[in-house]
Amino acid sequence: MAVLGVWDGRVPDLAVRARTGTRPIRDALHTVHSGHVGDCVAWLMAGIVVFAQLEIA
């Protein structure tokens, strides 16, 4: 998805169709993550906690 965001406007037709198929996922992620630095840190910490719990279990 990151590549599709970077190459917007210069991607082949197949990638454009794949991008439109992932629009609901992108929209959901945008609602919970504004791009603010605090959000990035919060999601990083959440990921670390999840991986730590998987390691403990």
**29 close to 44: Cβ distance less than 8 angstroms:** no
Residue-wise pLDDT for 37-46, tens only, equals 888 888 899 9
Q: Which residue has the higher pLDDT, 10 or 42?
A: 42
Number of domains in the chain: 1
> Treating both helix axes as pointing N-terminal to C-terminal, what angle do 23-32 and 13-21 enclose, rounded to 10 degrees?
50
Domain hosting residue 44, numbered range: 2-56
Q: Nearest Cα to 4, choosing from 54, 44, 20? A: 20
- Kindly report the pTM of this predicted structure: 0.44
pLDDT-based confidence at residue 48 (cuts at 50, 70, 90): very high
The number of residues in the chain equals 57
Give the residue carrying structure tokens 């990035």.
40
pLDDT, average across residues 25-37: 78
